[in-house]
């Protein structure tokens, strides 16, 4: 496997079959080698800096019915909420005072959050929190909508592709959702000029090693500025409630591979990793990640944005506990920085 790892390190490219071999040959030794190389590459570009994003979960009302998601439309047990503009702005004001310079607005696909509503929000944040970046993660919208959001000042957009295989996509989503449309949305975001993020779940139902290899090839070819991956974790009120969670170890292995595919990519160590393992956040950083996203949402709604069972929202996951997160990063040789943390195009 050393030859494949060295090829990837040098060319940032493998065939789908080679990615399959790399995944199938995972062992503690290959994981160690990949992580060492990933960390070396990441440090050459970003040093020991870990970028923080203040996550604001604006609402859990969603028109979609994705089979894996706890806030899916059909989940009648989900206690719904929607933050108003002033609540969202208060989250940003608090975050700004804590040193956050990127705010991520994430929520279900909810028509309440119209283009005009979000555009006004973006402009106010940019005015009240100078020098900040705004990232949106509000799902599939039209190209015209994305263009308006970009022109209003949004910097980045996160839209996980979930899987690069159409057949697999259709096993995870209801018939009204389209793999082709998801890919078109991602391409539109890139064309408009957003720093664009994609990503997938590790260990999702029906996922094969080839599917994972196809995801890696998609990332290689799409060249996102951001990529979010985390282990699949089931939610008790979804059709996938009885499925096994994905592996944190495999997730970290793939983080290292993605860093070698795309040395400059902004790569989060996700909440899902921290949910599966107590030190999951740290393991992600030690595997090549360089972003963490503490939660700025109001305390009273955090438990309602439950995409999967036992989703973390307190402790080091809470933005107000930034000091604890700083200490945890310092303990493994990294430092949290108050910075927009933009993609470095080298």
295 secondary structure, DSSP code? B
Q: What is the structure's pLDDT at 1?
A: 83
Pairing of strands 291-292, 156-158: unpaired
Query: Would the pLDDT of 314 be above 90?
Result: no
Q: What is the structure's pLDDT at 291?
A: 97
- Distance from the Cα of residue 320 to its chain's centroid: 21
Contact yes or no for 54/102 (Cβ under 8 A):
yes
Q: What is the structure's pLDDT at 89?
A: 98
Burial class from Cβ neighbours inside 10 Å (0-12, 13-18, 19+) for residue 201 reads buried
Q: How far apart are CA 155 and CA 189, in angstroms?
A: 11
Query: Would the pLDDT of 316 be above 70?
Result: no
For residue 310, what pLDDT band results from cuts at 50, 70 and 90? confident
Pairing of strands 195-202, 156-158: parallel
Question: What average pLDDT does the segment 121-125 reach?
Answer: 98
When the pLDDT of each residue in the chain is averaged and rounded to a whole number, the result is 95
pLDDT in tens, 195-207: 999 999 999 999 9
Question: What average pLDDT does the segment 11-22 reach?
Answer: 98
Kindly give the residue spans of alpha helices, DSSP state H, lying in 129-236.
143-151, 166-172, 179-192, 209-222
Q: What is the structure's pLDDT at 312?
A: 66
319 secondary structure, DSSP code? G
> 185: phi > 0 → left, psi -120 to 50 → alpha, else beta; which?
alpha
Q: What is the structure's pLDDT at 112?
A: 95
Query: Would the pLDDT of 6 be above 90?
Result: yes
Q: What is the structure's pLDDT at 311?
A: 81
């Amino acid at each position: 496997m050393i030859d494949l790892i060295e090829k990837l390190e040098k060319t940032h490219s493998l065939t789908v079959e080679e990615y399959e071999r790399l995944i199938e040959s995972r062992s503690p030794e290959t994981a160690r080698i990949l992580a060492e190389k990933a960390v070396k590459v990441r440090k050459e570009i970003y040093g020991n800096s870990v970028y923080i994003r203040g996550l604001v979960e604006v609402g859990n009302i969603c028109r979609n019915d994705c089979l894996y998601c706890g806030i899916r439309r059909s989940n009648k047990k989900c206690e719904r909420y929607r933050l108003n503009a002033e609540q969202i702005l208060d989250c940003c004001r608090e975050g700004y005072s804590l040193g956050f310079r990127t705010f991520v607005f994430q929520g279900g696909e909810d028509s309440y959050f119209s283009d005009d509503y979000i555009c006004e929000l973006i402009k106010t944040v940019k005015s009240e929190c100078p020098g900040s970046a705004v990232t949106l993660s509000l799902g599939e919208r039209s190209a015209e909508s994305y263009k308006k959001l970009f022109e209003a000042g949004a910097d980045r957009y996160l839209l996980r592709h979930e899987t690069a295989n159409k057949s697999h996509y259709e096993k995870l989503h209801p018939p009204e959702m389209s793999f082709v449309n998801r890919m078109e949305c991602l391409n539109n975001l890139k064309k408009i000029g957003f720093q664009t993020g994609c990503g997938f779940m590790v260990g999702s139902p029906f996922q094969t090693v080839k599917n994972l290899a196809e995801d890696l090839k998609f990332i290689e070819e799409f060249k996102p500025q951001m990529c979010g991956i985390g282990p699949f974790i089931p939610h008790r009120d979804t059709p996938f409630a009885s499925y096994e969670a994905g592996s944190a170890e495999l997730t970290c292995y793939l983080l290292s591979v993605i860093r070698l595919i795309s040395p400059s990519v902004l790569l989060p160590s996700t909440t899902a990793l921290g949910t599966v393992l107590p030190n999951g956040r740290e393991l992600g950083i030690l595997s090549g990640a360089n972003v963490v996203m503490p939660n700025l949402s109001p305390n009273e709604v955090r438990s309602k944005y439950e995409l999967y069972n036992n989703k973390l929202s307190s402790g080091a996951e809470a933005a107000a506990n930034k000091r604890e997160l700083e200490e945890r990063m310092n303990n493994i040789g990294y430092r949290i920085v108050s910075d927009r943390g933009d993609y470095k195009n080298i």
